[in-house]
Every structure is written in C-alpha cells, then in structure tokens.
Amino acid sequence: RIMPVRWNRYDPSYLEPEVKKESYQRPLEELTEEEREQMELKAVRLIKAAPPTLSSSVFSDPMISKFTNMMMKSGNKVLARNLMSQTLENIKRKQLEKYHKAPENEKETIECNPYVIFHQALKNCQPIIGLSNITRGGKTYQVPVPLTDNRKRFLAMKWLITECRENKHRRTMMPEKLSQELLLAFNNEGPVIKRKHVLHKMAEANRAYAHFRWW
Amino acid sequence: QLERGCALHTAHRDGLSSVSSQDVPERPRAVFHTSESDPAKHTEQHEGRLYNIPLEEVNAVFPHGLPQRFQQQIRTFNEARVMVRKPALELLAYLKGSNLTHPAVRYVIYGERGTGKTMTLCHVVHYCSRQGWLVLHIPDAHLWVKNCKELLQSSYNKDRLDQPLQASVWLKNFKTSNERFLQEIKTQKKYMWGKRESTEEGRPLMEVVEQGLARVRSASDAVGVLLKELKQQSHRGSFRLLVAVDGVNALWGQTTLRKEDKSPVSPEELTLVHNLRKMVKNDWSGGAIVTTLSQTGSLFKPSSAYTPQELLGKEGFDALDPFVPIPVPNYSAKEFESCYGYYLERRWLQHEKARTEDGKAELQFLSGSNPRQLDRLAGPL
C-alpha cells in the first residue's frame, strides 16, 4: 500500500477548502472580477478534504496547534490538547493572582493574556543565527548559517519542550513545568534563553568559517 | 437578539430597583451582581444574579463542601460568587414554609452532569447556617465507599467494618463548622469507648468529637454516636437539623472495597454508611434532609444515568421514597449571559476574540449552556 509521504495524493486540479466564515458572508457586489471568477471555479472543481487540524473556530491559533502536535506522543492528541489548555489556564491563574495583589500603578504592566505571553515567549526564544555541520577535507566544521522562519519557530518550540521534559523534577506535571518556562521566557530569563545565547556565542566564535557556506 | 436585549433591559430595571432599596455600593457593580449576601432574602428578582459570600464565612461554613474547581476560582478571583438559580430558590421556599413538627422531608436534587447540583446544595447549606441550623454536611458519600486504605473490624458489631481515616477527616471538618452547637448539646446516655475510656451522660457532644479525633480507631463509632444523639434530640426544638448529603446514591450502590479474604464489601457492612442510612430515613422531626445524586463519583453506573431511578437502584429508591425531586437544568439564556459577563468582568476570559459576539455564540454552542463545560472551555481562553 503506497502512503502519500513525499508526493501529494491529490490531482493538481483539486482546490484548497475555505474555512473562514467571513469570506462566505460577503455580498456579491463587494467582490472584484478575479474573486468572482475564483468563486465560479470553486463551484465546478473538486475540493480537497479539510484536515482535522484545520478549524473554523475564532479561538484557533496555528502556533498553538503546532506546539500541541510537537508535544503529542504516539498520536495521543486528546492528552496533548488537554495539557496545552491546562498550561494556558495555569499561566492565566498565576498572572491573575499577581495582578490582584499588585498596587494600582503596576496593574497595567502585568500581562494576563496567556496567548500574548505564549507568542512573546516563543519570539524571545527564537535564535537569529544557527550552526550547520559542513565537512571539508575530512574535518567537520560548525559553520554559522542564517535560519528560515520555520526553522527558528521549530527550534524555539523544540527547546522549550525538551527543557520541560528532561531538566525538571520527575514528579512535576507538564502544565506546571511549561507554564513556569513560558513565564520565564516571556521575561527573557530561564534556561531556554540561555541556550539561545550559547548558540549565538558559538556562532560568533566560529565566524571565521562563515565562508564555507555556499548557499 | 431582540429578546436578549429585552432580558438585559428588565434585569437592568430590577437591578436599579434593588440597588435603590438598599445602601448604594461604593462603585456600581454590573447588572448580573447583587449586593444581597443573605440567602434568606433571595427572591425571583435575584434569579440569574451572582451573590458574594465573604471569605471568612466560606472558611467557617464550607470547610469541606465546595467543588474543587470552585475552590480554585475563589483563590484566583479573591472572592466567592454563587449564582442564584431557580432550583435553589424553589428549595429555599420549601424550607421556609416547612413545618418542623412534622417528620423530616427529603429533597433529592438531580440533573445531568455538571449542571450545578453541588452548588445548589451549597447555597442551601449557606442559607441554613445563616438561619442558625445545625448543618450535617457530608461532602461526597462516594469517598466513603471507595479508595479506603484501612478497613478495621468494628469493635461494636463484629460484622461491620470501620473506616478510621475518612471518619476522622470528616469529624475534623464538622468541628470547624458547628463549634457552638457541639458545646450546647448534651449526650443522653453513657458511651464506652473500649475497656477504659467512656463518656458520661450529660457531657457536651464536643467531647465525643474530641474522643473520635484523639482515638482514631474509634472515630467511626464516634460518628455513629453523634448522628444518633442529633437524631434523638432534634424533635425537641432547641436546634434545627439539616442533613446535607452529596452523592447519596453511594449509600445503596456497590463498593470497590474488599475484605482481607478478597470478598467484596457491601455498603451495609460499613459503619459510616449504616449510620448515614439511618440518618436519611424520615422517622425524625425538627429539620430537613437535602441530598444530591451524582454520577461522576459513582461506581458501576453508566455515564448517561442521571435520574433517581437509575442512580439509586431499586433498594435506594424504596429507602428514599417518598421524596421531593428537584431537577437542575443547564443555564438559561439569562444565566449564561450573567456567567459570561462575570468572567469578562473578572478578566477570566482573556482572548480578544472572546469579547466579540462570535466568540460568545461559539462558547454557548460548544458548552451547550452546561455550567461545567463552560467553565472548562473558558479556562484556557
């Protein structure tokens, strides 16, 4: 049985499904010529099946879904999603407790929205420059190399998850560990930020090998 | 949309009238709050509103009664807000008009999972403690029929089994909520605890409780003695007794406990359950019995069962018959509005899309107006 791993199983004539509610609520007059043509094409052509991760909910966030997928083990999406929601709730509770205890002038500085904290923490953890192994004359050198956006996001998420899984006490629950790590990363502290800085320093130290890169 | 606006309008008018009749608060609270924190004065006007219980009262009245999620919410928001709902108002009306010389009436609160049965019970318990009743609150009867580490053979009756841990925990919590009653009520008989210790006639019930806490082996017997004394003395009228049991279907179901020879234990063989069954029978007067059915902690019952017939079984139904059934439905539109508004005001719903109409409609659809589902959905948002 052939599984579609590298090549798409669909015919090239299939179109992507449109999930957003707003695009279907626009009246006909608002659409431009191209959009009207696109609509007529969709009425005739076949449409691909929507993947289960694609949601039309107003609360869905692609970064959060990516993170839950990375946390998932052996396909247990239910558990991964529950852990993620418990993490967000934990962050919210900690921040709200701090908020209610703080004096009036400091209340605006405390960020209570777990999604804002999550996105900011990921952004703070993303490295700017990475290292790649290039072999020249039998020896392997660590060469500083620019990273794509996807690779940066992937590295930030991977570092967060491995940090929580390995370097913490065995009996702490994942939501607790993750919420602590995310809050530290949001304030630019913590072991993940340190790892990013270590990578940057290595790249700076290996500047001399930068000309080995050919792309 | 039109009826929603109208409902908010009427609520606003009621809010204005109730605020003007009492003292004006320091800052105007929103429509869905009410400043009436005495359950005795709650009427249909307050339906769908949330009232505040001061935190000292919460620690005094509910040492062990509130659900876990609600306790977390109290800690996060720094206040305890309970919604006034129709089933609770109905129960309060029955209690206010009940004749205490007649035998105790049994009320069974039932409903689907997560509709607010335990919170209704807590509302009633708060009312009774404000009115000065003696409240016998068993937070979850299922805790007594499962996960018991120690089972001792009872010294009083060879066939029965004691549960020292559960009994001592319950006695400790009971002591914090009803201190002054325990000082006033006296025992009517002499009780022997083993060969050497005994409690004389005419000593305050506090000594029985202290005995149970000090000698953990006789804690279940102490609970039995306490229940017997309260039942015998309630008809005199010096105090009114409320028996509030959460998860009463545990008393007539099966247990997961086993004896040392691996034979299953039936509920009658446990002293705590035996004494509680005698308490829930309506052969005493001078109070009321309010119970809740619960499927979540129940053993060997399907998750779709919620009616008294299914959860109590034949034995339990015959034992509790006759009773007043009180169904608890999901949130109505007005109650959902007020819960949603409360979460927004307390900054619990942080997602920016949650404030929009689309977000609200989505929350209502996904939770099906079920209070527990709404709470779980609003957690990560």
In sequence order, what DSSP letters do the residues of B79-94 get, joined into one string?
Answer: SEEEE--HHHHHHHHH
Predicted confidence at residue B201, as pLDDT, reads 83
Element (H, E) at B327: strand B324-327
Number of structural domains found in chain B: 2
User: Does pLDDT of A191 surpass 60?
Assistant: yes
Closest alpha carbon within chain A to B366: A57
What residues of chain B lie within 8 A of the CB of A108, using their CB?
none
Predicted confidence at residue B40, as pLDDT, reads 81
What residues of chain A lie within 8 A of the CB of B373, using their CB?
none
Residues B272 and B354 in one domain: no
User: Who has greater pLDDT, A69 or B298?
Assistant: A69
- As a whole number of angstroms, the distance between CA B237 and CA B286 comes to 6
Predicted confidence at residue A183, as pLDDT, reads 94
Residues B323 and B351 in one domain: no
Domain limits for position B51: 44-327
The Cα-based distances of B4 to A85, B160, B309, B346 in angstroms read 31, 58, 37, 22
Lowest-confidence region among A116-125, A200-209, B189-198: B189-198
CA distance A147 to chain B (A): 31
Chain position carrying tokens 């695009």: A23
Report the amino acid identity of residue A157.
M
Predicted confidence at residue A31, as pLDDT, reads 67
Residue intervals of chain A classified under CATH 1.10.455.10 are 61-212
Residues B341 and B261 in one domain: no
Residues B62 and B188 in one domain: yes
| Interchain CB contacts (distance < 8 Å): A and B | 47
- Domain assignment present for residue B7? The answer is no
Test the B interface: residue of A64, A67, A89, A107 with most B CBs within 10 Å: A89
CATH, domain A61-212, list 3.40.50.11540, 1.10.357.10, 1.10.10.10, 1.10.455.10: 1.10.455.10
Please return the burial class of B336, using the count of CB atoms within 10 Å of its CB with bins 0-12, 13-18 and 19+: buried
Supply A67's token pair. 């993170």
* B351 to A113: CB separation less than 8 angstroms, yes or no: yes
- Domain assignment present for residue B142? The answer is yes
Residues B270 and B348 in one domain: no
Q: Hey, is A127 helix, strand or coil?
A: coil
Give residue B201's Cα distance to chain centre: 32
Predicted confidence at residue A157, as pLDDT, reads 95
User: Does pLDDT of A79 surpass 90?
Assistant: yes
What residues of chain A lie within 8 A of the CB of B73, using their CB?
none
Residues B308 and B350 in one domain: no
pTM: 0.86
Q: Hey, is B266 helix, strand or coil?
A: coil
Supply B37's token pair. 């924190």
- Domain assignment present for residue B212? The answer is yes
Give the residues of chain B that fall short of pLDDT 50: 1-28
Residues B264 and B227 in one domain: yes
CA distance B355 to chain A (A): 11
Predicted confidence at residue A193, as pLDDT, reads 95
Residues B337 and B243 in one domain: no
Predicted confidence at residue A1, as pLDDT, reads 54
Residues listed for chain A: 215
What residues of chain A lie within 8 A of the CB of B351, using their CB?
59, 113, 115
Lowest-confidence region among A31-40, A133-142, A155-164, B224-233: A31-40
- Domain assignment present for residue B74? The answer is yes
Predicted confidence at residue B376, as pLDDT, reads 92
